[in-house]
Amino acid sequence: MTVMGEKGMGSLEGVILAGGAGRRMGGVAKGLLPFAGAPLIRTISERMASRCKTVALVVATQRQAQELGGLGLPTRLDWLPGSGPLSALHIALLEAQEPLVWVSACDMPFVSPHAADWMAERLEASGANAIVPRVSGRLHPLQAIYRPECVLHSQSCLAQEERRMMALLEAVKPCVAEEEELRRAGIDTSFVTNINTPDDYARIAPH
């Protein structure tokens, strides 16, 4: 297993999906919300960087690229803006440089290197093409690890104008990291928590 350990020693590439319009947040760029004294994306990227050779952003518009440019992260442009997270994930997989791609939405402040280590090890042992956590009965495909080979399935979904992440999961048939397994491994399952609304932000952000 090569994922755990010093930065740059593993086979993980980190990608933060930051192309959402943030409508439920009043159009605010969620990745720039202050969180623990830094923009939220900074918090996420620093945690991912402890395990990943590189961490990049996928955005939907040039405006988003400009807004987030000051963070100093490589930025990839989704060439199917408006198609939701599936097309952003497709870009991440299409341009992947490492054997495993750790994907996070830009509104998930509690990303966990421990969870990533465990899921990557479980994925390699399973032989599956992806691993997705299931917490409180829900799958969380935007806090998951994929092999770049999944790009064939994302491409097929998009070619059929299918934008649902669940359609991709149905095609990929991922290994599922169940909540009970995660807890047994000592993993805090809050790593799948995301911020959708101002109320979420007020409840989750440190005060």
Tokens 């992806």: give the residue.
130
Annotated binding residue at 107?
A: yes
* Token digits of residue 54: 């590189």
Report d(CA 29, CA 40) in Å as an integer.
Answer: 10
Taking CB atoms within 8 Å and a gap of at least 24, the contacts of 123-126 are 123/147, 123/175, 124/1, 126/175
Would the annotation count 7 as a binding residue? no
- Tell me: is residue 30 an annotated ligand-binding position: yes
The verdict on whether residue 78 carries a ligand-binding annotation is: yes
| Rounded CA Rg of the chain | 16
86 touches 11 (CB < 8 A) = no
Nearest CA to 78 out of 59, 95, 101 is that of 59
Residues with Cβ within 8 Å of residue 152, at least 6 apart in sequence: none
Would the annotation count 188 as a binding residue?
A: no
Is 19 annotated as a binding-site member?
yes
- Which parts of the chain fold into alpha helices (H)? 40-49, 62-68, 85-94, 113-126, 151-159, 165-172, 179-184, 198-204
d(CA 181, CA 185): 6
Residue ranges for the known binding site for Mg(2+) are 107
Residue ranges for the known binding site for GTP are 17-19, 30, 78, 107
Residue ranges for the known binding site are 17-19, 30, 78, 107
